[in-house]
Amino acid sequence: MRVLIKNVFVEGKRRDILIEENRIKEIGEVRREEDMEVIDGSNKIAIPGLINSHTHIPMTLFRGVADDLPLMEWLNNYIWPMEAKLNEKIVYCGTLLGCVEMIKTGTTTFNDMYFFLEGIAKAVDESGVRGVLAYGMIDLFDEDRREKELEKAEYYINYIKDLNNSRILPALGPHAPYTCSKELLKKAKDLAIKYNVPIHIHMNETLDEIKMVKEKTGMEPFLYLNSFNFFDNIKVIAAHCVHLTDEEIKIIKDKNINVSHNPISNLKLASGIAPIPKLLKENVNITLGTDGCGSNNNLNLFEEIKVSAILHKGYNLDPTLIKAEEAFKFATINGAKALGIDAGEIKEGKLADIVLINKNNPTLRPIENIRSHLVYSFNGFVDDVIIDGKIVMRDREIITLDEQKVYEMAEKAYDKLRE
Residue list 259-318, contact with a copy of itself (CB under 8 A): 264, 266-273, 293, 296-298, 300, 303, 306-307, 309-311, 313-318
* Stretch touching a copy of itself by CB under 8 A, among 77-85, 95-103, 118-126, 231-239: 95-103
Closest CA to 384 of 154, 178, 108: 108
Contact call for residue 101 and a copy of itself (CB under 8 A): yes
Residue 379 in contact with a copy of itself, rule: CB under 8 A? yes
Among 278, 323, 390, 416, binds a copy of itself (CB under 8 A): 323
Contact by Cβ (8 Å): 389, 383 = no
Task: Give the nearer residue to a copy of itself in terms of CB position, either 219 or 324.
Answer: 324
Q: How far is the CB of 273 from a copy of itself (least distance, A)?
A: 6
174 versus 289: smaller Cβ distance to a copy of itself: 289
Q: How far is the CB of 266 from a copy of itself (least distance, A)?
A: 6
Binding mask 217-256 for a copy of itself (x = CB under 8 A): ----------------------------------------
Residues 195-224 that bind a copy of itself (CB under 8 A): 207
The smaller minimum CB distance to a copy of itself, of residues 238 and 293, is found at: 293
Per CB under 8 A, contacts with a copy of itself among 23-82 are 60-61, 63-65, 67-71, 74
Report 397-416 residues binding a copy of itself (CB under 8 A). Answer: 403-404, 407, 410-411, 414
β-bridge mates for residue 261, sequence order: 288
Q: How many residues bind a copy of itself (CB under 8 A)?
A: 72
Q: Which of 324, 342, 347, 399 binds a copy of itself (CB under 8 A)?
A: 324
Complex with a copy of itself: residue 189 or 373, whichever CB lies closer? 373
